[in-house]
Copies of this chain bind each other. A is one copy, B any other.
Amino acid sequence: MKKRIAVLPGDGIGKEVTKGAIEVLQAVGERFGHQFYFQYGLIGGEAIDAVGSPLPNETIEMCKQSDAVLLGAVGGPKWEHQPAHLRPERGLLKIRKELNLYANLRPTSYYPSLAESSPLRKEVIEGVDMVMVRELTGGLYFGKPSKRTRKNGEDEVVDTLYYKRAEMERVIKLAFQLAEKRKGKVTSVDKANVLESSRMWREVAESVAKEYSDVELEHMLVDNAAMQMIKNPKRFDVVVTENMFGDILSDEASVLTGSLGMLPSASLSEAGPYLYEPIHGSAPDIEGKNTANPLAMILSAAMMLRLSFGMHEEAEAVEQAVNQVLDAGYRTKDIMTFGKKDASTKEMVEEVKATL
């Protein structure tokens, strides 16, 4: 197959890990006889520096014409004191909106070889296997008004949590479709005892559930979900929630298994292209040191092979190679524990390629 991949390395370690993932994809192409065409675009701080915008139109156009998008990471202290519209994160929010990436998927699973890097006890995380599905283009992130006003001499401010029914429906449906192929359980997280939007969310979840009789639906309040995630993460299969709750809970989930530097994500739209990125940020403190963990980016590329290109065997080959490299004891700094083999970003990539 021939595939066009838009590559947006971004800032900080984004560049290093993206480079690694592309080498792995080239190796996959050679082994399985595919042709991947990589086109590079600017996003984030790099784009601000180069052309004065965190997401130039050329980048958007290029992404729209590609079969899938790979994103590294954006942001860094250099741009932290810029006005809001000139901050790297804006590029991220804008590409989500432009590509209509309404659902962010984050699988979290237990790696026996990494259990020691987790802050949780082994008994608690052993066997964890969940997917967080976060609504990504609505809610407080994009609702209007979002502004300050002065009334009777006092500053006040408002942000708006806004959803259309159809926006809730499509992401909840996706969660049910995923659950059908997994353990058959959807946990829908809301704050229905306080928010009107959550009461509607709950109703939509109930009505979607009727179409999926083989999937069990449970509702959970967001505060309780924040507790259960730590107390008993094994109880979850697919968790679906709105944008802001999803931002918080998926970051909480990402540290459970001690493998933050290993976690990929996929952001889906109705018509494609989809976007793939590691969960970790741009980590400016270790930029250019050849110590970043490239596995989350490599596993994001594997998700792309599977979800965007339908290349199941290829995706599995990459995932297996990653597992074998871990089993062989190779570790970047973030997941290093006593007795293992210290590996640089490049060495880790080489090992994965060699194992492929």
Q: A residues near B, CB below 8 A?
A: 84, 87, 89, 93, 119-121, 124, 140-141, 143, 146-148, 154-166, 191, 193-197, 199-200, 222-224, 226-227, 229-232, 244-245, 247-252, 254-256, 260
User: What is the CB-to-nearest-CB distance from A170 to chain B, in angstroms, rounded to a whole number?
Assistant: 13
Distance of A146 Cα from B160 Cα, bound (Å)? 10
The answer to whether residues A222 and B194 also contact, given A155-B165, A162-B158 and a CB cut-off of 8 A, is no
Asked if B141 contacts A196 (CB within 8 A), the reply is: no
Residues of chain B contacted by A161 (CB below 8 angstroms):
140, 158-161
Asked if B244 contacts A227 (CB within 8 A), the reply is: no
User: In the complex this chain forms, how many copies of it are found?
Assistant: 2
Distance of A74 Cα from B41 Cα, bound (Å)? 54
Distance of A160 Cα from B161 Cα, bound (Å)? 6
Asked if A256 contacts B244 (CB within 8 A), the reply is: no
Asked if A200 contacts B120 (CB within 8 A), the reply is: no
Distance of A38 Cα from B196 Cα, bound (Å)? 37
Distance of A164 Cα from B247 Cα, bound (Å)? 25
Distance of A165 Cα from B159 Cα, bound (Å)? 14
Q: Which of B119, B154, B251 is in CB contact (< 8 Å) with A164?
A: B154
Q: Which of B119, B140, B147, B227 is in CB contact (< 8 Å) with A194?
A: B140
Q: List 26 A-B contacts (CB under 8 A).
A: A87-B193, A89-B194, A119-B230, A119-B231, A120-B230, A121-B121, A140-B194, A140-B195, A141-B194, A146-B195, A147-B196, A155-B165, A156-B164, A156-B165, A157-B197, A158-B160, A158-B161, A158-B196, A159-B196, A160-B160, A191-B247, A222-B248, A223-B247, A230-B252, A230-B255, A230-B256
